Amino acid sequence: MGSPLPGPAPSDTMPAMPAVLQIDVVSIFPAYLAPLDLSLIGKARSDGLIDVRVHDLRDFTHDRHRTVDDTPYGGGAGMVMQPEPWARALEHVVGQRGSAASARPRLLVPGPGGVPFTQAMARELAAEPWLAFACGRYEGIDERVYEFAQEDLGLEVTVVSLGDYVVNGGEVAVLAIVEALARLVPGVIGNAASLVEESHQDGLLEYPLYTKPRHWRGRVVPEVLLSGDHAAIADWRHRQRLARTADRRPDLLHASSAGADVDVRVATAGDLPELLTLLYAAGTPTTMESLREGLSSSTTWLARRAGRLLGAIRVEARGDTLWLAAPALVPDLDGDDLARRLLDVAQQTAVSGIRQLVVDSPRASAVRARTYRQAGYRLGGGHWVKRCSRHE
């Protein structure tokens, strides 16, 4: 009853490839999903990176009129989608991989009453092996379908919203959500570095973009972008992102800028017990003796909010190089924005004669590596290195 979108089927003969992300979509308008066979998403299907299967809900009806809706109990305007066609459709989707308890998709139901869809959720969904979408129409789906999916089929069910507005059905939301998450699947975007500084990737909007020609109708490209100075360019772009976010989406700025209520100051001997606990929690354990010795040979900056220690970074000048320990943050802190704040503070402490900053963090996570790149650091020789800008 369900079939992939038109086009070549994903290959299952390449064991070296990562597991294919399977996406099942149930809709009364399967043709609405045809755009998922275009552009990069369509190519990802052809390359066997994602497997999109669209199912017509009307194929799971039991009357000659293929009825999927009826009037609501309690009265009211509009129609409600019946539970039985949905139950049969979801049973079919789940049954594609047999009855193993581990073989279950995560079910997403687009709707204005759901949790907001964000870039963070896109990253979360892109890591799932199997997703299913239920596209509602009319006034919505009978509430018992959600209970059935959770209790009888054992599915994790998430109602997700694109925004505070209403559209005619879930299909348009599925197009947006699948586009957003599929491009994060490894191999879908040819140049993975292009994902690093996109809008919302770390809570900020993207910086302004320019291309040739340099002079166009009386307008010129900012001089710093032509300088070849990667550190200066990274700093300019970060400032532009903050300014653009403040202008267009000020609601994002407080969280993504680490907050004006974060106090950063130099550590003293009285801070060492808390610092020791933080380092253990951050996965970089040390000893109290080592911390005491470090107070005399280096400087450690601490970030606090309302008295609570949130993060720390240690810096030490050696010749013309300022060495930085990887920023340590409490595990429950959302995002990596405070790490960027601490990196900026460390850079501001660089004295005359410092030619480069080096972060000793060769095994950085993907999130932390993105933070380093956005701050102007580049990986080389097992360290993250940033040359001091000629424009500073």
CATH at 329:
3.40.630.30
Model confidence at 39: pLDDT above 70: yes
117 in the same domain as 263? no
Give the Cα separation of 392 and 386 in Å (integer). Answer: 13
Residue 9 lies in a domain: yes
Contact 340, 295 (CB under 8 A): no
Do residues 175 and 293 both lie within one domain?
no
**Of 142, 164, 192, which residue constitutes the final position of a domain?**
192
- Find where tokens 């959302």 sit: 334
Query: Average pLDDT for residues 56-83, to the nearest whole number?
Result: 92
CA-CA distance, 170 to 107, in Å (whole number)? Answer: 13
CA nearest to 54, candidates 109, 128, 118, 3: 3
Q: What is the CATH number of the domain that holds 173?
A: 3.40.1280.10
Q: What is the mean pLDDT of the chain?
A: 83
Q: Kindly state whether residue 44 falls inside one of the protein's structural domains.
A: yes
In a domain, 233, yes or no: no
The answer to whether residues 7 and 135 belong to one domain is yes
Q: CA 288: distance to chain centroid?
A: 37
Select from 192, 211, 239 the last residue of a domain.
192
Both structure tokens of 16: 């070296």
Count how many domains the chain has.
Answer: 2
What is the per-residue pLDDT across 284-320, written as a single tens digit (0 to 9) for each? 888 888 998 988 889 999 998 888 889 999 999 888 8
Residue 212 counted as domain residue: no
Summarize pLDDT for 178-222 with one digit per residue, the tens: 999 998 888 887 655 455 445 445 567 888 999 999 999 999 999
Question: Which of 192, 216, 235 marks a domain boundary?
Answer: 192
Does residue 199 lie in a domain region?
A: no
**Residue 295 domain boundaries:** 257-387
The verdict on 264 and 362 lying in the same domain is: yes
> pTM, whole model, 2 decimals?
0.60
Burial of 81 (0-12, 13-18, 19+ CB in 10 A): buried
Confidence of residue 241 (pLDDT cuts 50, 70, 90): confident
pLDDT of residue 31: 96
